[in-house]
Amino acid sequence: MDINKIFRIPRKLRMFFYVYWNRFVFYSSKVQFGRNMRVHNKFYLHKAFSATISIGDGFIFTSGEAFNPLCKNIRGCIFASHGASIQIGDNVGVSSACFWAKESITIGDNVKIGGGSVLIDTDAHSLDYQVRRNPDMDSRYARSAPIVIEDDVLIGTGCIVLKGVTIGARSVIGAGSVVTRSIPEDSIAAGNPCKVIQKNEV
């Protein structure tokens, strides 16, 4: 049941409500966050008891309701499994993305992550079909490796960043890219798989 639809709560009031509600959700989940955090609209947060999530100042995360028209009504998500770490720097802006950490996702300062992008540091499943038949073993043997997004990176809409990737400082990742390998700093990169197109000399 959607209370918003029943009572037709104006969008501006919902925006105001969810900023404070989401701060309460983060606080009650023992997420460390800095000043002026704004998480707009309905948002999915999962933090395992042994996981750590730390967010710097000025964090903005828009979630659904076409806050970013490219996202339509995609709900944002931060998911930290047992023992995982998600570290987010200052002045990071995100639109309806999904962060899934089994091991570690680190995001530097002044990073922008486009609508509907996914950062996932795990295969989620084993590559061995016999292991996948056993759900407990499947999860245990899925490979993972840390993701690092350095300062001032811009990731376009609809990108997928996979395990073990480091995106160097000031680099730009084109929309719709699948980043399977690390990208050096000061690069413009795009494609599936994502490759460096040219150096970013701006």
Q: Tell me, yes or no, if 125 is annotated catalytic.
A: yes
Structure tokens at 85: 């770490």
β pairing state of 187-190 and 195-199: antiparallel
How many C-beta atoms surround the C-beta of residue 25 within 10 A?
Answer: 16
Handedness of CA 130, 131, 135, 136 (dihedral sign): positive
- Listed residue (104, 202, 121, 168) closest to 189, CA to CA: 168
Among 40, 46, 82, 125, the active-site one is 125
d(CA 32, CA 29): 9
Backbone φ, ψ for residue 173 (5° rounding) = -110, 120
- Listed residue (156, 184, 159, 181) closest to 171, CA to CA: 184
**Catalytic residue numbers?**
125
